[in-house]
Amino acid sequence: MPVKVEVYTAPTCPYCPYATKMMREIAPSFGEDIVTEEVNTWSPEGQTRALKHGIVAVPTIVINDKVKFVGVPRKEDLAKAIREELKKASP
């Protein structure tokens, strides 16, 4: 089962483009083992999903329904968090 990575963003956030760009750079190295999604917190659906996770700041990165990073993480830290989730998911 692939790891789900959601990047919660807002259009006016100056840091959100860095977080989404980083996710786009990292994702190909994991192939089909991860599914990524950018969630706009200004949309009604995005607001509902952000509330579900208790998100009050962007960018926020949620991995497998758990908030892992608020703000832009280091690329190495994000990759490590994804690898840890992949290990949990494998038998």
Per-residue three-class SS string for the chain: CCEEEEEEECCCCCCHHHHHHHHHHHHHHHHHHEEEEEEECCCHHHHHHHHHHCCCCCCEEEECCEEEEECCCCHHHHHHHHHHHHHHHCC
pLDDT in tens, 14-24: 999 999 999 99
Predicted confidence at residue 91, as pLDDT, reads: 67
pTM of the model: 0.94
- Provide the pLDDT confidence category of residue 27 given band limits of 50, 70 and 90: very high
CB atoms within 10 A of CB 14: 6
Residue 54 gets the label, from left (phi > 0), alpha (psi -120 to 50) or beta, of left
Structural domains in the chain, sorted by start: 3-70 (3.40.30.10)
Could you tell me which residues are beta bridge partners of residue 60?
8, 70
